[in-house]
Amino acid sequence: MRRKMVAGNWKMNNTPAEAVAFANSIKANINTDKTDVVLCVPYVALDAVKNELAGTHISVAAQNMHYEKSGAYTGEISGEMLVAMGIPYALIGHSERRQYYNETDETVNKKVQKALALGLKPILCVGESLEERKKEVTNELLRQQTNHALFGVSAEDVLKVVIAYEPIWAIGTGVVASPKQAEDACAYIRGVLAQKYCTDTASKVTILYGGSVDDENAAELFGQPNIDGGLVGGASLKPTFADVVKAGLPK
């Protein structure tokens, strides 16, 4: 069976002190080894939160990484730096990175390949805008983003990748894809993987849904056959994040 995962993306929120306090407040309520729980933490708080969560079943992830080892890339953080800190996951290709910071399919692929080469586990984001959904090109876009992001990635390595389907029109808007919309998209992504690799490999890849997930809708979303958990935004900054995690527990 595929592992369930609930990943909380804090985005640009929480100072190191606030991040540690929040991690401390929720860790007792998220004490399960049946679901992978990951907090995507701002760089400045990664080490502090990792130390606070030591001995628990909660991991941390960086919200981005550069594909070069070092160089004149002011403000960037390399995968080697994350590995040196003992960070196991990196969020790659989030729609906000694509939208605001000119992230492309090519740079996403470079980051995925670099993360895998370093032993980091990528949480790869793909998804369409509202305009693209209205034009009925969602599947075409998902195929393109998935195939480009995984270019050169072997069947063995793709099993280390978590894919998060995040419709841009549902992120931070309070609008949630219906369970059917989310399931259809995640099932389509799994079909793309089956064509690229094989059905058996595709059946083992963890695919998440992200977009206004909270404690009220998580159980229905996570109960869909091809949705293995969620990438959670605003709700991951609230105490009820523990309830979202519980919704992701395997039945």
Supply the residues annotated as catalytic. 94, 166
Strand partners, 164: 125, 208
Burial of 23 (0-12, 13-18, 19+ CB in 10 A): buried
3-state secondary structure the chain: CCCEEEEEECCCCCCHHHHHHHHHHHHCCCCCCCEEEEEECCHHHHHHHHHHCCCCCEEEEECCCECCCCCCCCCCCEHHHHHHHCCCEEEECCHHHHHHCCCCHHHHHHHHHHHHHHCCEEEEEECCCHHHHHCCCHHHHHHHHHHHHCCCCCHHHHCCCEEEECCHHHCCCCCCCCHHHHHHHHHHHHHHHHHHCCHHHHHCCCEEEECCCCCCCHHHHHCCCCCCEEEECHHHHCCCHHHHHHHCCCC
Give the span between the Cα atoms of 71 and 76, in whole angstroms. 9
Which of 194, 196, 191, 211 lies closest to 139 in space, CA to CA? 191
